Amino acid sequence: MPNLIFYQKIKINKGEYVKLNIFSAAQPSGIPTLGNYIGTIRSWNAFQKNYNSIYCIADLHAITKRQNPKLLLKNSLDLLSIYLSCDIDPKISTIFMQSHRPEHTQLSWMLSCYTYFGELKRMVQFKEKSKNNKNINIGLFSYPILMASDILLYQTHKVPAGLDQAQHIELSKLIAKRFNKIYNSNIFNVPELIITQSGSRIMALSNPKKKMSKSDKNKNNFISLLDSEESIIRKIKNAQTDSDQPPVIKYDVIKKPGISNLLCILSELTGKNIIELETYFSNKLYRDLKLEVIHTVLEHIKKIQKKYFSIRSKEKYLIEILQSGSEKAKKIANNTLSKVKNAIGLHS
């Protein structure tokens, strides 16, 4: 992750250096993909050293879609185990479950009184999620307010997330500024998005014009972090390339989306830049590129899986991490919530 170094800002406070606060979250809706790993989770680990980091499991966001009650906790523990396997360290970072902290829904109600219908109606993700959906519930609509509450409760400076979350984070900024202005205060830090993927997105393997997503109906389009070795090999071998003769291994998202996607995966995982890779692969075959991608992906994923399978069975340990994370989160969340209530004139 060579680009992360640029983001390590430290604020000076009364001659003292303080770490900035980072907050991010993912929904427990299935095992993350290689795209999620490269795009976000991997960077969370890198941020821990230089920021006060808080990472949340957004189970309340997940229920905007109907969930199987027997699977929700299991999915959350799966996700927690993935965080831990990607070396997010509970001794350094605060890791907790959104539904364990009532402050999130409390603040969410309050902030919904400072957010306009028109603002939510413009959200691209809401429009997309409403398509072909019989369950367009109010939670799906007010989802960005809960997200703003997640972020604003922890006096967040930076939110490492994918580009698809940019509009939600812009809204969080707007709400924070609006609230601060109304009450002539600095109750909320105004957060900023850190785009963690160096300007690129990991695309679906057999349709590289769309994003790699764990909800894709075609399982060949994504690599789950828990996929078996055989299926990873098969999926990469079958990834779409093109029929250029002679084969050209060059980054060109428009003309060569498949090759560009493979180069991008390789570049992200090895830290080598694309130009370096293009030179290395000049006069080589698509098969050579794929073999290299397979080798690199397996190297990363096997390490994660080894850790995952040793951690996932220790449910007591996992629950303890969430409990202590929730206690740590409580102090900060309570502090912000009382300031908000005071400002509004609500008294406890």
CB 213 within 8 A of CB 222: yes
| Tokens 């509009």 -> residue | 167
Binding mask 82-121 for ligand TRP (x = CB under 6 A): ----------------------------------------
Least Å from the CB of residue 345 to ligand TRP: 28
Q: Give the number of residues written for the chain.
A: 348
In the numeric block, which tokens belong to residue 58? 């957004």
213 annotated as a binding-site residue? yes
- Selected catalytic residue, list 214, 235, 256, 290: 214
> Which one of the spans 22-30, 182-190, 208-216, 248-256 is the region binding ligand TRP (CB under 6 A)?
22-30
The reply on whether position 171 binds ligand TRP by CB under 6 A is no
- Selected catalytic residue, list 158, 173, 211, 290: 211
SS3 content of the chain, % helix, strand, coil (to 5): 55, 10, 35
Q: Which of 31, 86, 152, 161 contacts ligand TRP by CB under 6 A?
A: 161
Residue 214 falls in the annotated catalytic set? yes
Rounded distance between C-alpha atoms, residue 305 and residue 301, angstroms: 6
Of 53, 113, 109, the residue nearest 83 (C-alpha): 53
Least Å from the CB of residue 118 to ligand TRP: 21
In terms of CB distance, is 64 or 296 closer to ligand TRP? 64
Using the Cα atoms of residue 290, residue 238, residue 217 and residue 82 in order, give the sign of their dihedral.
Answer: negative
Q: Which of 61, 173, 256, 290 contacts ligand TRP by CB under 6 A?
A: 61
338 annotated as a binding-site residue? no
135 annotated as a binding-site residue? no
Least Å from the CB of residue 335 to ligand TRP: 19
Rounded distance between C-alpha atoms, residue 345 and residue 170, angstroms: 27
- DSSP letter for 345, please: T
CB 305 within 8 A of CB 36: no
Of 151, 122, 113, 100, the residue nearest 320 (C-alpha): 100
Residue 339 falls in the annotated catalytic set? no
Residues annotated as binding site for ATP?
Answer: 27-29, 35-36, 162-164, 202, 211-215
**Contacts to ligand TRP by CB under 6 A:** 23-27, 58, 61, 147, 150-151, 159, 161, 165
Q: Name the residues annotated as catalytic.
A: 129, 211, 214
